[in-house]
Each structure stands twice: as C-alpha cells, then as structure tokens.
Chains A and B, each alone.
Chain A
C-alpha cells in the first residue's frame, strides 16, 4: 500500500506511506487514479509516514495535486510539502510557462497536419525531391570517381604511394578468404545448368551439347557474374561498414589532420585490391564450374572425361574465356566504388551506417548487372 484515503467533513485526507519511487510507479499511479475527487473541497496530504519519495513519485503527486486544484479543490500539506515536490515545481514551471513540452512524434505530426499541403503538390514535391536527390547522387558518384582517378594518377609515379601492403591485405580479405564460397557456388550452378539442359537435350539425342552450354555459359557469363555478386555482398558491405565506422569514430578526420589523404589510404587500396582479386576469383569460379560440368556429365550422361575435355576445346573459341574475364576488373571497380563511396558518406549515427551499408550492397549488385548487360550489347556489336 502506498496510500491511505480517509473522508473528512470537507473532503479527503490522504496519508502517503511506503516507497514512492520510480520502480513502484505502477502502484502509485493506480492508487492515485482510484481516488474519487468528486465533491471534495479540501484535500489534506500527510507525508510524514513516507519512506522514500523520488522525482518520479513527486512528479506523479504534483500531477494529482494539479488535477485536484483544476477540479476546484483546495490542497494542503500537513507540515511542509516535501523538498522533492519543490524541486519538480522549480524545474518544470519555466518550461510549462514557455509552452507545452515537445511531445516529439505527436507534435511533429500535428505540425505537419497544420501545413496547408495539396495532395498533388505533395506528390510533385516528392518526385521533384527524388529527382534532385538522384541528380546529386550521380554528381557525387562522378566526383568520387574523379577524385579516385586523380589520386590514382598522383600515386602511380611513386609505387610506394600505392601502399602495396594495404593492397595485399585487401587481396587476402576479398579474394583468398572468398575462395571456398565462390568455388561452392560455381560448382553448384554449373551442376544445375548441366542437369537442366541434359533433361531438355536428351529428347533430341543431343546430350553432347550440354558441354557447350555449361562451358560457354560459365566462361562467358555466369562465372564472372556470380563471383561479382558474391563479392558485392561480402566485400561491398565490408568496405562500407569499415570506412563508415571509421568516419563515426573520427578516424577519417584524424587521418586527414595528419596530412594523409583518406582516398589514398582507404579508398584506393580497396579498389586496387579488388581489381586484383576479382579476376583471380573468376578464374577459380571458371575452373570449378568446368569441373562441376564434368562431374555431372560423367555421372548422369556416362560421358568419359576425355570426351568431355575434347568437346570443351571444340566448344570454346580463343576469346570465350577472355570475354568473361575482361569484365571482372570493371565489376571490381564498380563494387569497390559503391562500398567506399557509401562508407565515406556515413555521418552522425549508427543508423546511417546500417542504411548506407545496405545501399552500398544493393547498388553494387545493380551496377554489376547493368554493366553486364552493356557488355553483352557491346560484345554482340563487335561480334565476339
């Protein structure tokens, strides 16, 4: 019990007892809410049996007193009112005089509702804002590419400025450690293609063309594309998160203040590291893909290995492998740029870090697929 209520001739006498603390707020609130104020002219509050009163308790008591006064009752304390009540009073009165406290979301919503906005105008504004944001994003990306290029050009004459140790670390992080997952995915995908095409081609008695499909599919398109998508997920996010948390920690500012260009120290090694590792990973994916095709052809079509190898060398032309591998460095630059650019944009809060990391990955995958489509058109035009 935190409250004893007695009726008096003129109204009520409240005897506060026990602990009036934040952690007992539920009892206090229930007890005070249950007090029937109707018809009470005078309310006397005794606090001498109170074991503890903290600010939360005092605030609730003040709310009660104000409610009673609002209903026309006279409120008096037996003895002096508690100090805590005075402290709450002194602290809250100036803001209450200045206006209601900010009820964050609610007030914000009300402010928004009061703005005379026509629905169409709002839509138009939205589209306009989106267009401007996209335009700024594009300009930003272009500026980023420009700065990256000029940094690279400036660093090229002095190989030391390229930070070979840092590049090696990124080759390891983005390349070597990705080999298992890239190999596994390449194997599974080539098995799936071989299996599906075998089912279709069997009805024509043309099982031998399974080899062509797997070989050309993996070497020209799937090897490099799947590797790039895996790397975008693994390393694009890692780049954005690493650089982003360095930004939040003011480490990037510290670098800059030391006279180190963050583009040279953070961005360029990541881009160059990925430009080295992604083609190498693609070679691994191509190899494992061909192995996967061979395994399936041997087990499902009972094709001897020498026949498979023979058919592979007939199916491909001199350019098939290079058509695939040439795309890898381009994809690498796109992934690394999306990751590092978004990472550098992080400021303020951990939520921004999460948002921009997501944006980096989505954008990297989108750019890779877009570039792949452009390559397909280009290769068709030049006839390879």
Chain B
C-alpha cells in the first residue's frame, strides 16, 4: 500500500466564532508540484501551520507519508518534522547566524552523526545547489538581498534532503525576472531530487510555470484539480481569479490560442 505524500481529511479550524476551514480535504501525490491558492483571509497560512504541526486543528486528520501527525507528539512528531523542509514567506532566517550556520542548524539538530567538517561540506553543497555564490556562506541575513534570502531559506529547507518541501509565497517580493529564476531553480531541484512540492502562492505566473495541480480554498473547503481543468471551475471566485485581466495571457498560452 502506498500512501499519498500528504493527505488531509475533514480538516476543521475555528478561532472562536470565526470559521476558517470546515471539512477541508487535500491530497498531494508523489513528485508533483501542488499549488495552494485562495483569497486573503481564506486560511492558506492556517492550513500550512496545521500541516506543519505548528497548531492543532479542531478536527480532521493530516497524514504525512501515512502518519497522522495530529495524533503524534514529542519524539515521533520531531522525527516527522525532520522529513519535510519549509521556507517561510519572509525567509525566517535566523538573524544572528550566518547563511552557512543557518543551513547547518537542522543538521546539528537531526543528524548528530555528522562531523563538523562533513556538515560544512554538505552545507556548502546545498548553498551552491540553490545558486548562491560561495562567499554568501559567511554573510548574515541582514546583508543579503531579497532574492538571496529566498535562496538561502531554500538551502536551509533542503538541509536534511527532505522528499517533501513546503514553500510559503516563495516568489513574493521578487521582481518578475527574479521570480522566474526562482521558479526555474525550484523546478530543476524538484526534478533532480525528486521532490514533492507544496506551494502557497498568489503569483499567477508562478502557478502557470510550475504547478501540476492546484487546490483553491473557497467557502472553507478546497477545490482541487489539474491546472488545465481548474481554470474552468464554475465557482465565481475561481473564475474571477483565473479569468481576470492578468490571467488572460496565460490562458491563451495554455489553450494554445
């Protein structure tokens, strides 16, 4: 029996009287790039926080590689957390550590067997892999440009060679060329390392460039389909999102018109 990499069933999240998710289902398959889309305040970040085990939902199951993380705690939860990588919207690099130390931190926590010199080399490998110059390794987050912060965060997310990667708004705050480069990099790594990528994004360019399937959060639930089919979904918000002025150029390309 093979499990989906990530499977969410009947997720319920409420804050007091405010309903965020009401029976949300989501399934992410191996080796795909899954995009999560939704208007502001529809609970994309809450969904990510639930899936990462940062907050416990009121109801529902969240299975990562077949293990329900809502039932786990302590060491078992920690072990699951070693199996995925995350980048946060603002990078969330540790400001008092340089890039090399940032990348090494997950290794120090999870891979006790690594010698310091092996850690250095592996961290450099990851830093090079995301396209950062070698001299960036000793720089502190405050000295990096926005694009470099995103890349360094990606290097840190890859520190433990996870099979599952979560990206929260990876291209926000980048110029279109920088965003395209980041998407290329992400796709390259996804193919080379056979990653499963779950990406929250607002960036239409990015969705059309990278995603295989898209989940849209509407009415506290998720509508999931392939990119080609989701654009024809009748829900008014989805129509407005994919058929707005900005989206039309992509649809023409996608439909070969």
Contact = CB atoms under 8 A, between A and B. Distances in A.
B102 to A, nearest CB: 12
Given A55-B161, A95-B124, A349 B113 contact: no
Given A59-B125, A92-B124, A102 B134 contact: yes
B161 A21 contact: yes
A101 B111 contact: no
A121 B125 CA distance: 40
Contact of B117 (A22, A103, A348, A349): A103
A25 B114 CA distance: 8
A349 B137 contact: no
B82 A23 contact: yes
B161 A349 contact: no
Contact of B120 (A54, A88, A104, A348): A104
Interface in B83-116: 83, 94-96, 98, 100-101, 107, 110-114
Given A104-B100, A348-B140, A349-B142, A26 B125 contact: no
A25 B161 CA distance: 11
B122 interface: yes
| Interface residues of chain A: helix, strand, loop or mixed (majority) | helix
A57 B118 CA distance: 12
A101 B160 contact: no
Contacts of B134: 95, 98, 101-102
B46 interface: no
Contacts of A103: 117, 120
A351 interface: yes
Given A101-B120, A103-B120, A351 B128 contact: no
A365 B154 CA distance: 44
Interface string A72-106: 00000000000110011001101100100111100
Interface in A1-36: 21-23, 25-26, 29
B40 interface: no
Interface of B: 82-83, 94-96, 98, 100-101, 107, 110-114, 117-118, 120-122, 124-126, 128-129, 134, 137-138, 140-142, 158, 160-161, 192-193
Interface of A: 21-23, 25-26, 29, 54-57, 59-60, 63, 83-84, 87-88, 91-92, 94-95, 98, 101-104, 248, 347-351
